[in-house]
């Protein structure tokens, strides 16, 4: 291709000339579009999926969480595969895998297999995304020189954030036809992504290095067990030995992973990268801020339907308010990064997000979007300011490592935080709501056994326990469900604000400054097929 390389790049690709690098950026945004949309689109359709497939409450949660968990567990391997096999090749494999698994999710049968089927193929979606995203980010990072990287990644994350906003809106309208369409919509997007990726002229390349499959297995087990323990604590109970076996066993596996990686010649992750204060600060910020960022879509979409009485499509518009702050702030954050470094934007973002989530928690019981919208916009602006700069700065400061590996690390940490946030805060939501409902129903004179059954089922009008409740009480119960669920959601938002406060502490530990130099190495050429 005539516009090929200006200089070599360590991500298994080459630095592209002006036209090609913007085409590469566009191609990669289309490639990851499906993955960002799917982080939120299923949350909107979750009630419809649960009803039609007769999923348990745990099953519908894992329909969302299995995707996030597979993302977190597979990112480190995805980044390493991008380095060894080439970023373009892994992006294409990820796109095709995501499209196939999306199709199979859409064909989930109405039978006893339904719950296992949709959870398994949602996990396959997550694994495909785990391959695709680090490779796509590596292509973008390597295609742009350091002085333009903040702007490029601000566009990448800003547009990706906007695509995340499309998820709830598209999910709401598609669900009115059939919830299965939320998965089938990925097929045409995948076709466009493949065509643009092939047109972008990304040079294929590979490295003749071993892959640490043992490390990949250990980190996946560690993440899976720990998230499983936190998620199932709601049903197993915090006093259950099984809960603590999973949590402690998962954490032990993660410690073992660190131990093994330090003694592996070609590790999945170079643990020494974390000795850098700035790199460690960036990743702590990403971990704790992601406890709030992705889970908020799941909880807010359910809140808008349960407490505000919105339809699925209106719930999508409720979440769109968040991106009214996120999208412009992401662009501002990218410009600050290029001019002054990451720290000013990340610190400001943590403060804004923390204040925004606290205000949102304060206004959540008003049951009126008009009273809440400014808090939601502020929350989105804070996340927009910190997300891109922290991710880009981590990549720039670990420049001695490959782009695929470093983006794999940061994305692993981000998505592990999301999965843990969904699991832990889901437990908080369930426990607070159940306790509130039992107290409220007892005040109505509902027998304790019926109150416990109603609280466990969410108190909805489809609950079988309502058959045992006098008709004159049902209207009061429905109003109580809206109020008590809002109070439970307040506890979740406060938990997110606490996580963002920890992110702020981590951001203040950042040494500051801009990265002005990068080491560029020429990748080995890929043998002809």
Burial call 116-139: b when 16+ CB within 10 Å, e when fewer: ebbbebbbbbbbbbbbbbbbbbbb
Is the same domain home to 226 and 262? Answer: yes
pLDDT of the chain, 529 residues: tens digit per residue: 333 333 344 433 345 555 578 888 888 888 888 887 776 677 677 778 888 888 877 788 788 778 877 877 787 788 888 878 888 889 999 999 999 999 999 999 988 888 899 999 999 998 999 889 888 888 887 777 777 777 787 788 767 666 666 666 676 677 778 889 888 988 998 998 898 888 877 766 667 778 888 988 998 888 878 877 877 776 787 788 998 999 899 999 999 999 998 888 888 888 888 888 999 999 999 999 999 987 888 888 889 888 998 876 677 678 778 888 988 898 898 889 888 889 999 999 999 999 999 999 999 999 888 899 999 999 999 999 998 899 888 877 765 556 667 777 887 788 788 878 887 898 899 889 888 888 887 787 777 666 666 666 555 554 555 555 666 676 777 788 889 999 999 999 999 999 999 999 999 999 987 776 554 333 333 333 3
What's the Cα-to-Cα distance from 70 to each of 61, 175, 420, 494, rounded to whole Å?
14, 25, 12, 27
Q: 267, 289, 305 — which closes off a domain?
A: 267
Q: Give the count of domains, the chain.
A: 2
CB 165 within 8 A of CB 320: yes
Is the same domain home to 97 and 123? Answer: yes
What's the rounded Cα separation, in Å, for the pair 507 and 285? 6
User: Is the residue at 458 inside a domain?
Assistant: no
What's the rounded Cα separation, in Å, for the pair 241 and 219? 22
The CATH code of the domain that includes 151 is 1.20.1250.20
CB 312 within 8 A of CB 172: yes
Is the same domain home to 282 and 424? Answer: yes
CB 77 within 8 A of CB 268: yes
- Residue 39 has phi, psi (to 5 degrees) of -70, -25
Is the same domain home to 152 and 233? Answer: no
Is the same domain home to 412 and 300? Answer: yes
Q: What is the pTM of this model?
A: 0.78
The kind and range of the H/E element at 448 are helix 448-457
Burial call 97-113: b when 16+ CB within 10 Å, e when fewer: bbbbbbbbbbebeeeee
Is the same domain home to 100 and 122? Answer: yes
Measure the N-to-C terminal CA separation of the chain; round to a whole number of Å. 18
The parent domain of residue 123 ranges over: 5-204+268-436+483-508
Is the same domain home to 69 and 179? Answer: yes
DSSP one-letter string for 385-429: HHHHHHHHHHHHHTTTS-HHHHHHHHHHHHHHHHHHHHHHHHHHH
Is the same domain home to 314 and 360? Answer: yes
């Amino acid at each position: 291709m005539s516009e090929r390389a200006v200089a070599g790049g360590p991500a298994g690709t080459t630095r592209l000339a002006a036209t090609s690098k913007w085409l590469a950026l566009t191609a990669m945004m289309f490639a990851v579009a499906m993955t960002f949309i799917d982080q939120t689109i299923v949350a909107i359709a979750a009630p419809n999926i649960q009803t039609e497939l007769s999923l348990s409450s745990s099953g519908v949660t894992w329909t969302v969480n299995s995707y996030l968990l597979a993302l977190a567990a597979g990112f480190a391997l995805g980044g390493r595969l991008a380095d060894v096999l080439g970023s373009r090749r892994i992006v294409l494999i990820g796109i095709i895998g995501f499209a196939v698994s999306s199709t199979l999710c859409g064909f989930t049968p109405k039978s006893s297999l339904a719950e296992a089927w949709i959870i398994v193929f949602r996990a396959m979606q997550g694994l495909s995304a785990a391959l695709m995203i680090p490779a796509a980010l590596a292509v973008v990072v390597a295609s742009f020189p350091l002085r333009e990287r903040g702007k490029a990644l601000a566009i990448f994350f800003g547009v990706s954030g906007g695509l995340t906003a499309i998820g709830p809106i598209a999910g709401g309208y598609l669900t009115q036809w059939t919830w299965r369409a939320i998965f089938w919509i990925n097929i045409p997007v995948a076709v466009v992504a493949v065509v643009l990726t092939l047109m972008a002229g990304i040079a294929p390349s590979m490295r003749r290095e071993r892959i640490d499959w043992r490390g990949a297995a250990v980190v996946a087990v560690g993440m899976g067990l720990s998230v499983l323990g936190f998620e199932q604590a709601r049903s197993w109970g915090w006093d259950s030995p099984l809960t603590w076996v999973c949590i402690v066993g998962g954490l032990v596996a993660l410690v073992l992973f660190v131990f093994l990686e330090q003694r592996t010649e070609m590790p999945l992750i170079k643990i020494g990268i974390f000795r850098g204060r700035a790199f460690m600060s960036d990743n702590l910020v990403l971990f704790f801020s992601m406890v709030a960022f992705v889970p908020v879509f799941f909880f807010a979409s359910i809140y808008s339907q349960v407490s505000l009485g919105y339809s699925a499509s209106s719930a999508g518009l409720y979440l769109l308010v968040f991106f009214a702050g996120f999208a412009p702030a992401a662009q501002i954050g990218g410009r600050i990064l290029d001019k002054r470094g990451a720290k000013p934007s990340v610190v400001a973002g943590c403060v804004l997000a923390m204040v925004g989530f606290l205000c949102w928690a304060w206004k959540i019981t008003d049951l009126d979007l008009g009273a809440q919208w400014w808090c939601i916009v502020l929350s989105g602006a804070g996340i927009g300011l910190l997300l891109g700069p922290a991710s880009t700065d981590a990549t720039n400061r670990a420049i001695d490592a490959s782009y695929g590996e470093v983006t794999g690390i940061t994305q692993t940490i981000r998505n592990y935080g999301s999965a843990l946030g969904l699991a832990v805060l889901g437990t908080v939501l369930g426990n607070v709501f159940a306790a509130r409902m039992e107290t409220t129903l007892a005040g109505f004179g509902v027998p304790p056994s019926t109150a416990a059954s109603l609280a466990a089922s969410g108190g909805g009008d489809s609950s079988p326990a309502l058959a045992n409740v006098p008709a004159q009480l049902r209207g009061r119960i429905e109003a109580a469900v809206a109020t008590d669920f809002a109070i439970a959601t307040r506890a979740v938002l406060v938990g997110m604000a606490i996580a963002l406060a920890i992110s702020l502490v981590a951001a203040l530990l950042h040494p500051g400054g801009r990265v002005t130099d990068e080491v560029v190495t020429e990748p080995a050429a890929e043998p002809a097929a």
